């Protein structure tokens, strides 16, 4: 199962980068932050606007299983895009591999493009689960977030914006509003 989890993490990281590229074209007026509850992901988080939802299944031929994921994306005006990706693995992930899966996930994001630069990555705990805070920069664009492994779910909380539009207070509000409701 360990190799399958790493492969799935790399596939999800590739998906994240393509979804964020597409989501940057969404715009809207600045709105009050709204608490959003994902029933399938058993979590809540504040978004700057009502998020768009995408649900997909990805087959994992190596494990002969499907990886199900939900993505919620909301734009903060024309300045930033916030997203939560919730990937549901078919089996319970061994806690011993959670850290390795998070690191593999981040390596997948960083290796997606040769100009991606890892600014920092810190292992932390969120509600008793392994998590990884990270910051990736590429050609004046920031991709900053947190990945959390909780049982058989991977939660990616991320923000993408141009360097000049980065607002730490908004990013912090987004990240710190995340709660698992399991």
Give the three-state DSSP class for 88.
Answer: strand
pLDDT of residue 97: 78
Positions of the chain with pLDDT lower than 50, given as ranges: 1-14, 16-17, 19-20, 22-31
Query: Which of 15, 17, 2, 5 minimizes the C-alpha distance to 138?
Result: 17
pLDDT tens-digit series, residues 167-181: 999 999 999 999 999
pLDDT of residue 61: 62
Q: What span, in angstroms and rounded, lies between the C-alpha atoms of 177 and 162?
A: 23
Domains of the chain: residue spans and CATH: 2-180 (3.40.1000.10)
Instruction: Extract the tokens encoding 106.
Output: 């981040």
Q: Please enumerate in sequence order all residues whose Cβ is within 8 A of that of 76, keeping only pairs 6 or more positions apart, or say none.
A: 30, 48, 49, 82, 161, 170
The residues with which 149 forms a beta bridge, in sequence order, are 154
pLDDT of residue 65: 66
| Model pTM above 0.85 | no
Query: Which of 78, 77, 61, 60 minimizes the C-alpha distance to 69?
Result: 60
Strand 52-60, strand 65-76: pairing? antiparallel
């Amino acid at each position: 199962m360990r190799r399958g989890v790493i492969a799935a993490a790399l596939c999800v990281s590739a998906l994240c980068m393509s979804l964020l590229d597409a989501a940057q074209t969404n715009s809207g007026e600045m709105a009050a932050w709204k608490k959003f509850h994902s029933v399938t992901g058993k979590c809540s988080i504040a978004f700057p606007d009502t998020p768009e939802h995408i649900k997909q299944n990805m087959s994992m031929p190596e494990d002969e299983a499907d990886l199900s994921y939900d993505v919620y994306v909301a734009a903060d005006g024309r300045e930033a895009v916030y997203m939560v990706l919730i990937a549901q693995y078919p089996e319970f992930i061994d806690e011993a591999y959670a850290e390795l899966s998070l690191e593999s996930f981040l390596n997948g994001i960083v290796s997606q493009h040769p100009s991606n630069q890892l600014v920092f990555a810190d292992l932390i705990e969120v509600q008793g689960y392994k998590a990884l805070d990270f910051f990736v920069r590429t050609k004046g664009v920031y991709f900053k977030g947190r990945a959390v492994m909780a049982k058989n779910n991977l939660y990616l909380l991320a923000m993408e914006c141009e360097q000049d539009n980065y607002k730490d207070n908004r990013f912090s509000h987004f990240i710190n509003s995340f709660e698992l409701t399991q």
